[in-house]
Amino acid sequence: MNRHGERFSLKSIIRLQREKYADEALALPSLGAPEPSAEAMLAKFQAAEQITEDIKKNDYTYFTAEDTKENKLIGYCGVTHKKDYMLLSKLYVRRDQRGKGIARSLFEEAAALCRQEYGYQKIRLAVNKNNAGAIAVYKKMSFETIDSIRTDIGGGFFVDDFVMEYSVGAAERTPAKQL
């Protein structure tokens, strides 16, 4: 695992983000409002300028995972700290690399930062309500749904997300069995 800047460029992260949006097909419900296109979402949240601003002005940290044999970026995770919790803003692993523990490793790096540098007890994220794959991964990592939000992202676009939370140390607990 690398912290951003140690090896891979913003261009590598942006290439993976474009792959992510194509991969997920952005099945976002609009609830009567226009649906944002993948390009609109990329331009607003994932452009090089936005990532650079997030790193410089909003204190984001990016972790990256690489395929050392092919010298390729295969995953990334972006986090920042809020008043009393760490925000997991981005987590993605290339489709052909999933199921190998890479997302968990990236998340564990973020959790260590949360504990060691900030002393927080919580990590939160927002995930689209229709992104069943990501929700399943987060639940497997012991995240719990704590809220539901509808966010106006401008231009008449809205996204409907679940807010999920991880309690630092939750991985050591045995998950409750579902009935």
What are the per-10-residue average pLDDT scores of the chain (179 residues)?
47 58 44 49 62 75 85 86 90 88 91 87 93 91 96 80 87 40
Query: Residue 126: enclosing H or E segment and its boundaries?
Result: strand 122-128
Question: What CA–CA distance (Å, rounded) separates 170 from 92?
Answer: 21
| pLDDT at residue 74, as a whole number | 87
| pLDDT at residue 37, as a whole number | 54
What CATH topology corresponds to 2-121? Aminopeptidase (3.40.630)
Q: What would the pLDDT profile of 80-100 be if each residue is shown by its tens digit?
A: 989 899 999 888 888 889 899
Check: CB of residue 2 under 8 Å from CB of residue 64: yes
Question: What CA–CA distance (Å, rounded) separates 51 from 149?
Answer: 23
Check: CB of residue 88 under 8 Å from CB of residue 123: yes
User: 162 vs 84, 87, 137, CA distance in Å?
Assistant: 19, 14, 14
Q: What is the 3-state secondary structure (H, E, C) of 89-100?
A: EEEEECHHHCCC
| pLDDT at residue 114, as a whole number | 86
| pLDDT at residue 32, as a whole number | 40
Tell me which residue of 105, 93, 118 sits closest to 168, measured CA to CA.
118
Token pair 């607990």: residue: 173
Which backbone phi and psi does 46 adopt, to 5 degrees? -120, 10
| pLDDT at residue 39, as a whole number | 58
Q: Is the dihedral of CA 28, 34, 38, 40 positive or negative?
A: negative
Question: What CA–CA distance (Å, rounded) separates 96 from 90?
Answer: 18
**Helices 10-24, 48-57: inter-axial angle, 10-degree rounding:** 120
Count the Cβ atoms, other than its own, within 10 Å of residue 82. Answer: 11
| pLDDT at residue 28, as a whole number | 39
